[in-house]
Amino acid sequence: METEIGAGAFKARCLQLLDDVAATREPLVITKHGRPVARVVPIPPAIELFGALKGSVLHEEDIMAPLENEWEAAL
């Protein structure tokens, strides 16, 4: 369940509420006159690129060995 807060209360406590969303990873819905008008959501954590594909190679062969099939070169 998303937490709802009125726009006036959000304005008064904005910085603390942003810290809470970042810490709890729970979205916050801002309402005006009881109707939702905005949603504050946490930014997904950054993915470390180094090592991101570790374990993704399923089969490895000798990449330096010649191919078994013959090729015709265009002369």
pTM confidence score = 0.61
Please report whether residue 63 resides in a domain. no
Q: What is the extent of the structural domain holding 31?
A: 3-40
Please tell me the total count of domains within the chain: 1
For residue 23, name the pLDDT band (cuts at 50, 70, 90).
very high
30 DSSP 8-state letter: E
Inform me whether the pLDDT recorded for 74 exceeds 70. no
CB 10 within 8 A of CB 36: no
Q: How many residues does the chain have?
A: 75
Query: Residue 35 sits in a domain of what CATH number?
Result: 3.40.1620.10
Which is more confidently placed, 25 or 46? 25
Within the chain, residue ranges assigned H as helices are 7-12, 14-24
